[in-house]
Structure 1
Amino acid sequence: MLAPGDLQTIHLASNSTTLRLRNAYIALQSWKLAIISDPLSLTSNWEGSDVCNYTGVFCATSLDNSSIQTVAGIDLNHGDMAGHLVEELGLLTDIALFHINSNRFCGKLKYLDLRFNEFEGDLPKELFDKDLDAIFINHNREIGLLKKVTVFDASNNKLFGFSA
């Protein structure tokens, strides 16, 4: 969690575009504070409120309103970065790509939210061997059998492979 004064003050007008970009700024600056190693300096230009110019951050118009600019993707793969994923990343509500493979991030994931996609077929069984509190896969296509899940929301799908 950020303490007052950890982030510089930014002045943005109060509209949907700037609210989403302000939230992205908060999320990305919080995450930057939780990164303990960035040997390729991928976050070195993560300064100021123009998050769309940050290395590895991609902006696009929002799917729900073409006049709104939002962070649509993050690609920091092969950065050899280390640190934690912070809760504030949840403020990136429009993100469609989160590509952070080949890094050394750590922490415990408690929720997996794959809702409103086009997944079909069997999801990898290793995905469900994890100690997750909840997995959300509703509003997809055909989803196969799932085991070891304590919360299961698969509304608006065509399910197959269940056995008693």
Structure 2
Amino acid sequence: MSFTLTAEPGDSIQATPLYLESEYSFNVTPTAVQSGFGRLGFTSIALGTLQLEVDIATRRILHLWGLCPRQRWKPAELGYPGAETAVVTVISPDLVPGVSIDAGGLDDWPVEFDERSGWFRAIRAGSGTQENLFLIGTDTAIALSGNNLKSVWIKPKFVD
């Protein structure tokens, strides 16, 4: 399914990204509901088994969550290019609570991890370098080229 995004200046969400070693998955604390979102429900943009959580009422992308075993992560030297704080929202399509927007499967979103810096990135296959990087939450950024999603960056806290 095709979708378009936009970024506007705004405050980032204060939620700590986590990698839960025992579950091989990403999550955040506090949750989106604890942060006051979800009045009309949630949907997500599915990047294989990873999900970008989207608040229906505001159309705002909140955080990354989902299954992503470390065995899949490719070593990389990512550093962190810096990002402008922004609110990234879904322009289209119409959002339906609980119905994900498909952005492609596992092969479409290879994942990389920089052991030295602690940054993780899911990048659209063949996308090259990102155009604009926007900080949407604590240690969570989204790269766009125009209105298209190119990559997601997080620096998670690792939890056993």
Normalised TM-score (structure 1): 0.23
**Greater RCO, 1 or 2 (C-alpha within 8 Å, sep 6+):** 2
More strand as a share of residues: 2
The structure carrying a bigger helix percent of its residues is: 1
Greater C-alpha radius of gyration:
1
